[in-house]
Structure 1
């Protein structure tokens, strides 16, 4: 069911079908409507303007880009990085770069569309991917592309399927849109975890909008790879991220720390409450609870709770629903959610 809104959905969402307690979306730190964060953003808009439409290759350049990229590289643990206008642009730049005959691309199950080019498809199973990877043409470099968070636990936190592969000759490309700003003690995401897999090369890309609450994307990798990516016409011909957004990311570290602590507490609280229910799948410490029971989604809706629910990855795919915990939720919100889920389980057991 589609719901239309006229304002940003926080812990409460107002739709054309009424008002609901909202456990969906990707505003993990709850910052998009947080007053202190908004004021910081507005101050930076006054300084840098609402938008900057020139190429990063222009003769006039904001120093904020290099400052933020140095900060993010240090945070994540990569040699270098570059920012772009969105996570989709970041993933597309990387995936487009590897479309020549020099490379063979392998997309793991449930890889996000941002890492695809025309006619490419993902594998239904890691077993089939492994089989084909073993047969990889010897004159091409294999590229394995995946999402760090697939919401059913295949990848993060253990990456067990990747651990079974010999990645010594493989370039690993990972979209960490749902991990950046969210996972790790400082929101560094999963770069350091993936480094332990000892791939020939590691590239991590993704959105800064979900965890850091700004409109921007980023690519992490070696200095050599980042230089090659930024020397493409795709990068040079595109407008960059808003300098006001990036300045806000740099200046909001204290706010991020506070909100991330709240998120961890909420996630841990709900995890303990729902740990006995087999209908939920949880990917490590990520603050999402995935389920495939359409009747539960309907029951929550009837009890004024709205969750993320849509057919994924295609319109003919099974309906995938997930409860998303955010820093802006209160303990009372979580208790209400658990009470309704408990009542649904009780009714299901009786029927």
Structure 2
């Protein structure tokens, strides 16, 4: 069922005058409703304005872009970085730039639509992906480019990237979508770049949304200086309006807030798991705040008891129903204990 609301859903949401606890979405650190974060954002709005409509190639350039990109490079340990207005745009810039006769694109199971170029589709499983990549290397000179998502609750992704290790990575350009990782996992929210680098692929490129972990409308691409320069020299990059300077400034200046929220988030996740009688019926990664299950009756039971979770067909209407519980830093202890109590009853 679709619910229409007129305010951002934080730890709770009002639907037709009825209040629900909300355990959905992707606001892992609860920043969008955090007063200190909003005050910082408003301060930067007053300085930078609501939008920057010029090209990044224009003769007048705002220095905050270079500052943020240097900050993200240091945070993630990547050589270089560029930012865009969304994670989707970042993924498409990477995919479309690499979609040449010199490359062959391969999509891992469950890889995000932001990475995809039609008519390419994700492989059903990693065995099929491995066979396809190895077969391509035997009969073609073009370089295989493999796209994966960093966060996989079935255990194929961060932190060990177990399934992808089967591939001949020394011959592969590996593109990792870290939209659900950066800001949330890794040292100070650095995401998966350092762990993915340990796979020793021929080349590593990481793209991501900055909206889920850092609470701002922006995207980023991380990689070598040479590769990032290639991306920024495209008409695609020059023709797209950049991310809001106010949002990017808030990312750089909000480090203390992010650190505090990550500590609170981990405390909330641990409380939730410790309060469940049977946590194994949920699919999840240790310490990660998203929990999946297949029994849609659970979602209905929670709704009847004034709890809403993420529950819709994703990524399109023909896809299976996604049931996803998200614990955030915005939730209070009583919220989490109530949710756990309901799950223990069902």
The TM-score, its normalising length taken from structure 1, stands at 0.96
Partner of 1:298: 300
CA contact (8 A) 2:156 2:162 kept: yes
Runs of 4+ in 1 over 4 A off after TM superposition: none
Superimposed CA distance per residue, residues 182-229 of structure 1 (whole angstroms, 9 cap, x where no aligned partner): 111300000000011100000000100111001100000000000000
CA contact (8 A) 2:179 2:208 kept: yes
Compare 156-165 and 253-262 and name the one that shifted more: 156-165
CA distance in 1, matches of 2:240, 2:233: 12
Superimposed CA distance per residue, residues 23-80 of structure 1 (whole angstroms, 9 cap, x where no aligned partner): 0001111111111111111111111000000000000000010011101100001000
CA distance in 2, matches of 1:236, 1:297: 44
5+ residue gaps in structure 2?
A: none
CA distance in 2, matches of 1:140, 1:26: 37
Q: Equivalent residue of 2:41, what SS?
A: helix
1:17 to partner: Cα distance: 7.3
Partner of 2:199: 197
Change (3 A) 1:107 1:302: same
Partner of 2:179: 177
Change (3 A) 1:154 1:275: farther
Superimposed CA distance per residue, residues 262-285 of structure 1 (whole angstroms, 9 cap, x where no aligned partner): 011111221233373332000232
Q: Count the aligned residue pairs.
A: 344
Partner of 1:245: 247
Partner of 1:167: 169
CA contact (8 A) 1:93 1:229 kept: yes
How do 1:206-217 and structure 2 match up within 5 A? 206-217=208-219
CA distance in 2, matches of 1:197, 1:275: 36
How do 1:1-351 and structure 2 match up within 5 A? 1-16=1-16, 18-136=18-136, 137-274=139-276, 276-344=278-346
Compare 307-316 and 332-341 and name the one that shifted more: 307-316
CA distance in 1, matches of 2:90, 2:273: 32
Q: Equivalent residue of 2:101, what SS?
A: coil
1:150 to partner: Cα distance: 3.2
CA contact (8 A) 2:79 2:224 kept: yes
The TM-score, its normalising length taken from structure 2, stands at 0.97
Compare 268-277 and 17-26 and name the one that shifted more: 268-277
Superimposed CA distance per residue, residues 73-107 of structure 1 (whole angstroms, 9 cap, x where no aligned partner): 00001000001001111011001111111111110
Q: Equivalent residue of 1:104, what SS?
A: strand
CA distance in 1, matches of 2:301, 2:284: 21
Partner of 1:348: none
For the aligned residue pairs, the C-alpha RMSD in angstroms reads 1.2
